[in-house]
A and B are shown apart, each in its own frame.
Chain A
């Protein structure tokens, strides 16, 4: 019995470690979902095997919960992936470097709620103005930092009279770097799949 327990534990652990390596390395998110499902199945098998070895049925309800939760997670992530594909670029072909414009479109879409429709640093003004001291929020600056007007203003007209503007470009610079490595990694993974 002990020998069987050791053998079963070793086999399950080897399968779990290999699935975990696939989760880490998996080029796309769908590979990671598949490997996560395998890992979950291995975990359910390990709990059932433990119940079989110890003849203790305490952990059996956990198995029912796990078998439903794993399905929920897999389906929701798969739907999320589909929706991101569908909203990004419905008309392009699948074999002409498609993932890279798609993920670029995503990363352009993301900052939109904070008003970065242009690369003008003043268009990021409302984001910076919320964290500034109240002195920079006098009516003149408040109107000039309006997101609708800011895109139409040239940068020089705001420069000397407001205290705020040195801050928003820093905000803009600190927001952009986390996006570009992610995009590069997604591109690389898409090429690796191909």
Chain B
């Protein structure tokens, strides 16, 4: 049982670390702010959750799992807010490349200044 949990923990840790590497590569390769934000959410949410699950599978104590759950809740509550504000600031600053957008729903509104 312990061995199975350990293997699961290793898998979660390696997959989460892979997501961090992919986000790093995407930050270097993607062309504009919005696509970089898309890449940045992978380690922020999924990668972090996988690593926290792997950590919880290794620690296996109620207090530690509660702390890890708290970290996960904080991260999942705050990451969308930060991404929303960064995206809005980027669009208003004209840093979203409109030629790369499929749909630009803010095109006719006051947000496009």
A93 to B94, CA, bound (A): 9
Q: Which of A58-66, A136-144, A158-166 contacts B (4 or more CB under 8 A)?
A: A58-66
Contact A71 B78 (CB under 8 A): yes
Query: Number of contacts between A and B (CB, 8 Å)?
Result: 194
Q: How many residues of B contact A (CB 8 A)?
A: 57
Interface residues of A in 16-57 (CB under 8 A from B): 16-19, 21-22, 28, 30-31, 33-35, 37-38, 41-42, 44-45, 48-49, 51-53, 55, 57
Contact B78 A57 (CB under 8 A): no
Interface residues of A in 60-81 (CB under 8 A from B): 60-61, 63-64, 67-68, 70-71, 74-75, 78-79, 81
Contact B13 A49 (CB under 8 A): yes
Min C-beta distance of A22 to chain B, whole Å: 4
Determine the chain B residues whose CB is within 8 A of the CB of A52 once the complex forms: 9, 13, 51, 54-55, 57-59
Contact B113 A28 (CB under 8 A): no
Q: Which single member of A17, A44, A49 contacts B17 (CB below 8 Å)? A: A49
Most chain A CB inside 10 Å of its own CB: which residue of B18, B24, B44, B55: B24
A4 to B15, CA, bound (A): 11
CB of B101 within 8 Å of the partner chain:
no
Min C-beta distance of A112 to chain B, whole Å: 24
Closest 7 CB pairs of A and B: A18-B24, A15-B20, A71-B78, A94-B94, A11-B17, A15-B24, A78-B85
Q: Which residues of B contact A (CB under 8 A)?
A: 6, 9-10, 13-14, 16-18, 20-25, 27-28, 32-33, 36-37, 40, 43-44, 47-48, 51-52, 54-55, 57-59, 61, 63-64, 67-68, 70-71, 74-75, 78-79, 81-82, 85-86, 88-90, 92-95, 97, 112-113
Q: Which residues of A contact B (CB under 8 A)?
A: 1, 4, 7-8, 11-12, 14-19, 21-22, 28, 30-31, 33-35, 37-38, 41-42, 44-45, 48-49, 51-53, 55, 57, 60-61, 63-64, 67-68, 70-71, 74-75, 78-79, 81-82, 85, 90-95, 98-99, 193-194
